[in-house]
Structure 1
Amino acid sequence: MIKVMLVDDHAVLRDGLKNILGMAEDILVVGEAVNGKQALEIVEGADPDIILMDINIPDINGIEVTRMIKKDHPHVKVLVLTMYNHDEYFMSAIKEGADGYLLKDSPSEQVIEAIHDVFKGESVVHPSMTKKLFAIHQQKAESGSDNQLTEREKEVLLCLVEGLSNKEIGKRLYISDKTVKIHVSKIFKKLNVKSRSQVVIYAVQNQLVPLPPGS
């Protein structure tokens, strides 16, 4: 059974989420919080596997609460569920340890699927966010985290984070689909990830993509 805790100050939305999660036989809501302070108080007793975290909540915002929970309860997964699709919120949430980022317009099935994926150790990112990552700057951040990648692999990594398909990557870099697949496989192995969404999380957390000012 996957134990889920809800952090959102809107009662109607929490009730809606409980109804949605009730559709899954292996998901149980074990706690609810309406603000940041309450979330920090409840998390220890509720001992959830996953927290569905809104960003705009009273007292302490969801990004800061995520940071504090990840520090004191590193085993707890945090899946941000918000109406904000701004780059700075997304990158800040990921930088503070969020395991996924979904928008509230996501279909019910996608929310349930995301919970299952995060529970299995995967990372989930709303499709629109991967496409927006490089709207800020198309540049490489200076970081030693990706020294193990070749220059070509770094180029492919940037394309992956941008949300391009293998075919689109091949067209941009003038290489075949087969060659793209080989590079992607090597990137996954070197960065110890299993999915494209995990690549995005890794790239943001390790500053392989540029962070917006003030994030």
Structure 2
Amino acid sequence: MIKVGIVDDHAIVRTGLRQFLSEHVDLRVTGEANNGREALELARGGEVDVLLMDLSMPEHGGVDALQAIKARFPDLAVLILSGFPEAQYATQLMRHGASGYLNKECSPDEIVNAIRVVARGRRYISPAVAELLADNALGEGDQAPHAALSERELQVFLRLAKGESVGGIAEAMFLSVKTVSTYRTRVLEKLKLGSNSELTYYALKNGLIQ
């Protein structure tokens, strides 16, 4: 029996995953968390073999949580399930100790397969991530400017690119308007862009939004 902890800040996502995983006799959901801090508590409790964790969460995000968890529990398998494209975070997170990286657009069966693989102490490499790793190994993986963004900067960037207002982003991410404005300024500087419309064009051109 593989004990799975689900970490996502959306209750409906956790419910859907729990229901689907319960249909498999070798999997059992033994805990849930809605942010990175609670994920660390799940790991500390010792009742999980695999953490299935989102990246974009309020308070303590997935990147910080992964580093904290692997520092304390290096043998715990952490499988990232994220809405961010593989090109942005996959290789970085694998270097930080993630056992695998899946995009939320993947099939439910792939999630189950990945959980079984990482529970055996192996890494799960999807075809998209395998291609990224191969490109990097061959020196072909020149990083795009957005690769230099922090997790929070990336979240703000993608929301701005989709047309969300600074106020709306602040409310959704539990941040002040001033803080979001600061992130926006940093993003524009790092990407050498001058406006929100340029952010949108950049995101579309690089396949970060559809």
Q: Secondary structure at the match of 1:13?
A: helix
Shift of 1:137: 9.4
Change (3 A) 1:130 1:31: same
SS at match of 1:129: helix
Q: Does the CA contact (< 8 Å) of 2:42 and 2:48 recur in 1?
A: no
Q: Is the partner of 1:91 in helix, strand or coil?
A: helix
3-state SS in 2 of match to 1:111: helix
**1:53 Cα shift?**
0.8
Q: What amino acid maps onto 1:96 in structure 2?
A: H
Aligned residues: 147
- How far apart in 2 are the matches of 1:61 and 1:79? 15
Structure 1 residues 118 and 136: CA distance shift in structure 2, 3 A: closer
Distance in 2 (alpha carbons) for counterparts of 1:137 and 1:105? 26
Distance in 1 of aligned mates of 2:123 and 2:142: 20
Greater RCO, 1 or 2 (C-alpha within 8 Å, sep 6+): 1
Aligned equivalent of 1:112: 112
For residue 20 of structure 1, what is the amino acid of its counterpart?
A: F
Question: Aligned equivalents of 1:137 and 1:101: distance in 2?
Answer: 18
Letter paired with 2:90: F
Which whole-Å CA distance do the structure 2 matches of 1:70 and 1:210 have between them? 27
Q: CA deviation at 1:136?
A: 7.5
**Gaps in structure 1 of 5+ consecutive residues:** 141-208
Larger displacement relative to structure 2 (82-91 or 59-68): 82-91
Tell me, what secondary structure is at the counterpart of 2:23? coil
Residues 74 and 136 (structure 1 numbering): CA distance in 2 closer, same or farther, change over 3 Å? closer
When residues 69 and 96 of structure 1 are mapped into structure 2, their CA distance, relative to the original with a 3 A threshold, is: same
Distance of 1:136 and 1:49 partners within structure 2: 30
Once the 2 structures are TM-superposed, how far is the Cα of residue 83 of structure 1 from its aligned partner? 1.2
Judged with a 3 Å threshold, the aligned counterparts in structure 2 of structure 1 residues 78 and 210 are, in CA distance, closer, same or farther, namely farther
Deviation of residue 86 (structure 1)?
Answer: 4.2
Identity fraction in percent: 33
Deviations 1:95-138 (A, max 9, x none): 21000011111111111111111111221123223334566795
Cα deviation, 1:39-88, whole Å, max 9, x if unaligned, reads 11232125310000101011121121111111101121000011111423
Distance of 1:15 and 1:77 partners within structure 2? 21
Residue type matched to 1:18 in 2?
R
Find the counterpart in structure 2 of residue 61 from structure 1: 61
CA RMSD of aligned residues (A): 2.4
Per the alignment, residue 10 of structure 1 pairs with: 10
Tell me what 1:145 maps to.
none
The answer to whether the Cα contact below 8 Å between 1:54 and 1:80 also exists between their aligned partners in 2 is: yes
Alignment partner of 1:91 is 2:121: no
**Is contact 2:5–2:42 with CA below 8 Å preserved after alignment?**
no
Q: Say whether the 8 Å CA contact 2:99–2:124 is kept in structure 1.
A: yes
